[in-house]
Structure 1
C-alpha cells in the first residue's frame, strides 16, 4: 500500500485496508466451509482452482489501481481495471449521410451570449430584483423626453368620457400599462439620442453615450422587475377563486404558531389614538382579538360569527388585520357592504390592490415601521421578514372614497359622518368617483398629498382635463368633487373662478337638443296597437311611453310607481309618488300624477291602458308591488334602465331618430308641445315638477318641434 499526505488519499487507503481485511476473512470462511463439504483434499477440480486464482488476480489488480491513483494525483481515481476494451464498445463510424438522417444532436444546455462587463453585471441584477427608486425613475423620465418628430412614442391617453365608464380594475390596469409605456418612451428617447449622434457622424464625449445607454438599461431592468411582480400577482389572482381562496386562507389562519401573527399592543394603541375604538375585530381568535366582539376564521367558543366574509359589516365600526392573501377580497367586501372601519395591510404600493386601498381612505394613513416586535406569534417568535415588513393603517369607508371633512376622531363623529354623507345623492357620488380617481392618479404621479389645498396643483389638474378634451361640465364636476374632498375654497377661490370663465369662453357648453320631435308622430303609431290584442311586453312599452308623455316626468319617477298608491276613479286616475326622487326637497311636496280619460281616443288613453296593463299582470306580479314588471320570468320589478330601453324602442319603431334622441327626450317633446298649444308656463312647471321660479324649461327644454313645416308649406300655397 502506498501512502499520501493528502487527507482524501489517506481516507481512501484506510477504506482499502478495511476492504482487504474483509476479503481475507471471507476467503478463510469459504475455505473452512469448503473443507466441511469436501472431506477429500483431492475433490476439487483443476478448473475450479484456475477460476479461484483468476478472481484473486482481478482483486489484487483493482486494489493496485486504486492505490496507485492515490499515489499519483494525475491518474483518475476510477480507472478501469482491465486493459482490454470490451468488444461491444468498439463501433465503426457511420456514414455522413446516415448521420444527417439521424439529425443533429441537441444541446441540453441553454445557449448564453457574450459576458457583459463586471461593473454592469453588479448593478443591473440589483435593479431587476428590487426595482428602481421612484425618485430616480422620475428623474430619468424627465431627463429623456420624446422628441418633437417622435410624438407617436408618447403614452396615449384614454378619452375622459370612456374613462368614466370603465370599472376600477380596468382603470388600475390601464394606469400600470401607461406607466410602463412612459418608461419605454424614455428608453426609446435615450437610444434615439445615441443613434442620432452616430448617424450625424458627430464625435461627442464617450461618457454621453455610456450615460444614455446605461439609463435606458436601468429603465428596462425596472420594467423587468415590474413584469415579474405582475406575473406573481396574476398567479395570486388566479388563486382568488372562492374555493381555492378558502383553502388558502384556512391554511394561513389556522391556529399554528408559524402562521398566526398578531399586531403588537403598542402599535394597536397608536391606532386607536388616531382612529378611535373599533367595535369588532373581523379576523381574530380568542387569543389575539383586539375587541370584545370578534369574528373567527375557524370555530371558536367566544366568536360572534365564523368567516367574516359571510356576515354583513355595514352596522359595525370594524378593525381588520386580514391575511395578506385576502386583502383584495377584504377591500371588495368594504365596497359592497359600505361600512366604515380600520384596516391594516402591508405597505406594498406595487400590489394591484394598493390604489384601491388609497381610494377608500377617509384621511391620511398611519405607517408602522419595521420592528422586531411589530408582529408576534403565540410563542413570541419574530416574523421571518420583520426587518423588511412595514404596515400601513387607514380608516376606510365604502360609502364614498373620501370623507375627510366629515370625519372626527371619536366614534360619535364617525356615526355622524354617515348621516352627513347621506346628504349627497348616490348618483352624485358615482359621478364624483371618476374625477376623484383621476385626481388621485395625478397626485400619485406628481407625489403630492391628495388632501392639501394647493391652488397651483389644482389648476394644473384642471388644465390637464381641459387639454384631454373634457368639456365645461366635466371639468366643473371635477371642481365640485375636489371641493367635497379638500375644502369648499376650491369652489370659491378667485383664481379657479377665473380659470372656469376662460374655459367657458374657449369651450362653451351647448344644449343637447337644438330641436325636438313632435309627440303626434308617436301617438299615431301607438294608436295602431290595440291594448287587448297586443302581447304583454308591447303593452308595457306602450304604457311607459304614454306615461312619459302625459306626465312629463323622468323615467326614475315612472319606475317608482307602486300599485298600492294608484287611485282609480270614474273620471281620472291619481298616482302618488311617496319615494324620494331627484327633485325631492323638504319644503316641496311629492309629485302626484293626474291621468284623465281620453274617451275620444281610447287607443292612446293612458288611464285605460294603465287599467288593462294592471289586469294582465295581476296573476304574474306575485309579491311585487311596482307597476312595471319584467314580461318574462321571474317577473320582477323593471329597473330604470329597462324602462329607458322600452321607451327608446318605441321611439325607433315610430320613426324617431334614436341616434339623436334618447328616452329622456320625451320630457323635452311633451313640455315643448304643451307650450306650442298655449298651455301656461305655470301649468307646465307644476306638471313636470319644476318650481314656480324655475328657468329650467325656458333654458333647457323649450325647443321647436322637428316637423314644424307650416312656414315652408305657406310658401308653396
Structure 2
C-alpha cells in the first residue's frame, strides 16, 4: 500500500480498504484547516505551565540575604525570568545572550535554575570560570554531580519549603510560614559575610568550626532575631554599632527575656561582630549590670540530693543484677557509670566498645576520642576508668560486663549504650538523660528540680563530704581550678527529712516507706 515501511500501518490500511470495498464505498483525501483539526489541537495549544520558575517572592528574599546583588539570570525565557538581563537557551526577543555556556560567568554574580539534566555541566562551568552566584538544585545526594556541588559551596545550603507555591508557572502569594522557612540561619549569614570580606572558603570553614554545634544551636535563635531586628530597622547586620546592638538587647529585655538569655544574646552578637568587643566595652558592661540588677539570675538550687538515696534504691531485691531485664539494666548501668565518673551525660553517649579495654584487674578503660564540653587545647579527658566496687549491687564493672553480654546478640554499632527497644540504635544524650531521671524519680528525688546533670554535683559533693581532698576531685573530674567546683557543683547535701517531703507525694511511696522503715 503505497510507500509505507510499517507493517502495522500497512495491515490497517489493507483492512480499511477491504471494508470500503465490501460496502462498495470510496475513500478520498480532503484538506482540514489546522484550527479545525482535532488531532493537531494539542500541538497548537500554548502551555505556559512548562515554563517553571522559583516563586518571585522567594527569589527576592534570597537576593536580600546575599552580600551582593544578583546581576544576571542564566537559564530563563521571557516568560519565567527573575531579573533582566537574562540568558535564554534558544533565541528570544528579550534575552541578553543565547546559550549561557557560550559566555563567561566570571564577572557576574549569577542566578541559575538550570534543567536538572544540565547540573553537572553547570557546576563544571562554575568551576572553570571561578564564578559566584545562587544555584537552585535538588537535594539528590546520590547523583554524580553532588560531590562537585559540595566542593564548590561557599555557604550553607538553604532548604526551600516543600510546597506547591515554591515552584510555579503563576505568581502566588506565599504564606508567612513559607517565607520564614526560606530564611537561612544566622551562621549561614555569618559565613556569607566572611566570604564577602575576602576570606577563602577553606578559611571560612575553619573559622566556623571554632564554634561547637551546641554553641551554634544556642546562638542561632538570637542571631536570627538580630537579623530580623536589622531588617526592620534598616541596619547592616554585620556592620552594626554598639548603640544598635544595645537597642536590640533592650528590645529583648522588654519582651520579658531574663539576664541569662540576654547574656547569651550578647555572646552571639560578639561572635558575628568581633570588632565591637562587646565583652570588654564599658557601656555594654554597665548595661548588663543593669539587666542583672533588674532581673537577677540566681541559682535554681542551693543544695543537692544525697547519692545514698540512689544507692539504697539499687540495694532493693528488685534491682538485683540477676533479676534485671534489658531496660532496667540499661537504666541502672547509666546511673552507676555517671556517678562513678562524675561526668556529664555527653561522656556516656560517647563511650565506644571499639575504644574499650578490659584490664587484668577487672577494671574497664574507655578511650575518649571525641570533643567533650570541657575539652580545650591542652586539656582533654582522654581516658575514663571504671573500677570494681566491693558491693556487687553497686559495682559498675559487674553491671557493665553483664550489659555487654546481654546486648552482644544485637546488630549493634560500636556505641556502648543502645536503646532498649527495637531497632536498638545508639542511644542519644537525651535518651540517657531520660533514663537517669527515671531512676532519680524512683529514688524519691524531685526531678522537677533536679535533672540528669545534677548527678555530677551530687557525686562530687558526696566525695567532698566523705573527706576526699578537693584537689583530688578536681584532677579526677578534669576541672582546671577549684573555682568551677566551688561555684557550680559543691552544694550542701539535703537531709533525709528534706527528701522525705517529696517521697511522701511520690507514686512510689509504698516502696520507699517499706524500705526506709526497716
Per-residue CA shift, 1:426-481, capped at 9, x if unaligned?
11111111111222232233333322322222222111222222222211111111
Give 2:152's aligned residue.
317
Distance 1:258 1:503, change over 3 A: closer
Q: Deviations over 1:353-378 (max 9, x none)?
A: 444545447xxxxxxxxxxxxxxxxx
The answer to whether structure 1 residue 446 and structure 2 residue 281 are counterparts is no
- The CA deviation string for residues 40-60 of structure 1, in whole angstroms up to 9 with x for no partner, is xxxxxxxxxxxxxxxxxxxxx
Quick check: 1:549 aligned with 2:336? Answer: no
Cα distance, 1:623–1:534 mapped onto 2, change above 3 Å: closer
Partner secondary structure for residue 597 of structure 1: coil
Q: Distance in 2 between matches of 1:509 and 1:408?
A: 39
Q: Report the counterpart of residue 678 of structure 1 in structure 2.
A: 467
Spell out, residue by residue over 1:267-303, the C-alpha distance to the aligned partner (whole angstroms, 9 max, x if none): 999985576x99x987555599654269xxxxxxxxx
Secondary structure of the corresponding residue to residue 421 of structure 2? coil
Q: Of 687, 696, 716, which residue of structure 1 is paired with 2:476?
A: 687
**Structure 1 residue 292 and structure 2 residue 124: aligned?**
yes
TM-score (ref. length: structure 2): 0.66
Q: What is aligned with 1:632?
A: 421
Output the CA distance in 2 between the equivalents of 1:482 and 1:463: 14
CA contact (8 A) 1:432 1:481 kept: yes
In the TM superposition, residue 504 of structure 1 has moved relative to its aligned partner by: 2.2
Change (3 A) 1:657 1:270: farther
Deviations 1:475-515 (A, max 9, x none): 11111111222334133332112111222222222123211
CA contact (8 A) 1:530 1:603 kept: yes
1:606 aligned to which of 393, 396, 401:
396
Taking only aligned residues, the RMSD between alpha carbons, in angstroms, comes to: 3.9
Q: 1:669 to 1:628 in 2, by over 3 A?
A: same
Q: Distance in 1 between matches of 2:124 and 2:235?
A: 39
Contact 1:531 1:603 in 2 (8 A): yes
Instruction: Find the aligned partners of 2:119 and 2:357 in 1 and give their Cα distance.
Output: 62
Kept after mapping to 1: 8 A contact 2:195/2:204:
yes
Distance verdict in 2 for CA 1:287–1:673, change over 3 Å: closer
Shift of 1:329: 4.5
2-structure distance, mates of 1:669, 1:575? 23
- Normalising by structure 1, we get a TM-score of 0.49
The residue aligned with 1:704 is 492
Quick one: distance in 1 between partners of 2:121 and 2:354? 49
User: Residue in 2 aligned with 1:187?
Assistant: none
2:195 equivalent in structure 1: 407
1:427 paired residue number: 214
Equivalent of residue 467 in structure 1, options 250, 254, 257: 254
The runs of 5 or more residues in structure 2 that have no matched partner are 1-54, 59-74, 88-95, 127-135, 499-518
The one of 463, 477, 480 equivalent to 2:267 is 480
Is 2:334–2:436's contact at 8 Å kept on the other side of the alignment? yes
**Judging changes above 3 Å, is the alpha-carbon distance between structure 1 residues 455 and 669 closer, same or farther for their aligned structure 2 residues?**
same
* 1:282–1:319 contact (8 Å) kept in structure 2: no
Alignment of 1:203-602 (within 5 A): 264=86, 273=107, 286=118, 290-292=122-124, 308-311=138-141, 312=146, 315-318=150-153, 327-329=160-162, 352-360=177-185, 400-403=188-191, 406-408=194-196, 413-489=200-276, 490-528=278-316, 529-569=319-359, 570-599=361-390, 601-602=391-392
Task: Say if 1:675 and 1:709 are closer, same or farther in 2 by CA, change over 3 A.
Answer: farther
Structure 1 pair 475–459 and aligned structure 2 pair: CA distance change class (3 A): same
Deviation for aligned residue 1:623: 4.1
Task: Measure the CA separation in 1 of the matches of 2:154 and 2:491.
Answer: 56
Which SS does the other structure have where 1:575 is aligned? strand
Which moves more between the two structures, 639-648 or 562-571?
562-571
Aligned partner of 2:25 in structure 1 is none
Shift in alpha-carbon separation, 1:694–1:400, aligned structure 2, 3 A:
farther
Choose from 374, 398, 405 the match for 1:615: 405
- What's the offset of the Cα at 1:420? 1.1
Rate the CA distance shift 1:444–1:624 in 2: closer, same or farther, 3 A: same
Q: Is the 8 A contact 1:547 1:606 kept in 2?
A: yes
Structure 2 CA distance for aligned equivalents of residues 347 and 318 of structure 1? 30
SS in 2 for 1:705: coil
Deviations 1:652-699, CA, capped at 9 Å, x for gaps:
0111111111111101100111111111112211222212x2411100
| Preserved CA contact (<8 Å) 1:404 1:485 | no
Q: Cα deviations across residues 398-423 of structure 1 (Å, max 9, x unaligned)?
A: x644235532466x712210121011
Q: Deviations over 1:608-658 (max 9, x none)?
A: 1111111111111x2411111111211111111100000000000111111
Q: Residues 487, 357 of structure 1: CA spacing in aligned structure 2 closer, same or farther, 3 A cutoff?
A: farther
Using the alignment, how far apart are the partners of 2:236 and 2:466 within structure 1? Answer: 57
CA contact (8 A) 1:521 1:654 kept: yes
Larger CA deviation: 566-575 vs 631-640? 566-575
Distance (whole Å) between structure 2 residues aligned to residue 638 and residue 610 of structure 1: 16
- Structure 1: gaps spanning 5 or more residues: 1-232, 237-253, 295-305, 334-345, 362-398, 711-717
Structure 2 CA distance for aligned equivalents of residues 500 and 261 of structure 1:
46
Change (3 A) 1:261 1:655: closer
Structure 1 358/515 Cα, relative in aligned 2: closer, same or farther at 3 Å? Answer: same
The one-character-per-residue Cα deviations of 1:48-74 (angstroms, maximum 9, x if unpaired) are xxxxxxxxxxxxxxxxxxxxxxxxxxx
1-structure distance, mates of 2:237, 2:105: 21
1:63-142 equivalence runs, <5 A: none
User: How many residues end up aligned between the 2 structures?
Assistant: 388
Give the conservation status (yes or no) of the 8 Å contact 2:306–2:493: yes
